[in-house]
Copies of this chain bind each other. A is one copy, B any other.
């Protein structure tokens, strides 16, 4: 309704199309046609397609990071000397993204950022790594450190690893891939964004909280053995030991 600027129309449309068809799957021609903008405008404002991608991610990341940063500060301020609890940290990490999705869903629009983030995960590792690090690295580190403080009985590296699991699952949750009906006879349960997030948070929290895993002597590791064979009973034993509580 409000006449958006050309720059914003490009960003909005790029976000939508990148999310829907991937970055490589979105041509600037289709993008500018849909945005009702001249083709050359993309290069005028963003220099290149890569520059556009960075701007699209950056715009959302800035808002998201501001909210997350504020939430984390508040948590730390309100908490006891031990620092905030793990579930509070995790919830603060999820909340801004979920809230945004709620908002978009309430307006009947696709939650595009979310899918976009998942699409980015599929970019070549160099592009992906640089992009994520630049836009989300610093704040992720602060959240991770808060989590490590909240879970002092776990080795920090294991908290870090599990935090990565959590972030990966959040990404998948946002991507919409979890809502695809791929298991015949078991269609995904219809639920609101909040419900789905709830369930994911509960799932992740249980994983975060689970007892530490003892490091296993590497000579048992079938990956390190010279004769990595066909059927591998050692791996079975190994995995069984890993999941014994």
Contacts and interface: CB of A to CB of B under 8 A. Distances in A.
Contacts of A225: 106
Number of copies of this protein chain within its complex: 2
Interface of A: 20-22, 24-25, 87-88, 90-91, 94-95, 98-99, 102-103, 105-107, 118-119, 121-125, 128-129, 132-133, 136-138, 140-141, 144, 157-158, 160-162, 164-165, 168-169, 171-173, 175-178, 180-186, 188-189, 192-195, 197-210, 213, 216, 218, 221-226, 228, 231-232, 235-236, 238-240, 242-244
A87 B128 contact: no
27 contacts: A21-B124, A24-B25, A91-B243, A99-B231, A99-B235, A118-B121, A132-B182, A133-B183, A136-B182, A138-B184, A140-B182, A141-B183, A144-B186, A157-B189, A161-B199, A168-B178, A193-B223, A194-B221, A194-B223, A197-B239, A198-B216, A202-B207, A202-B213, A202-B242, A206-B207, A206-B210, A207-B207
A213 B198 contact: yes
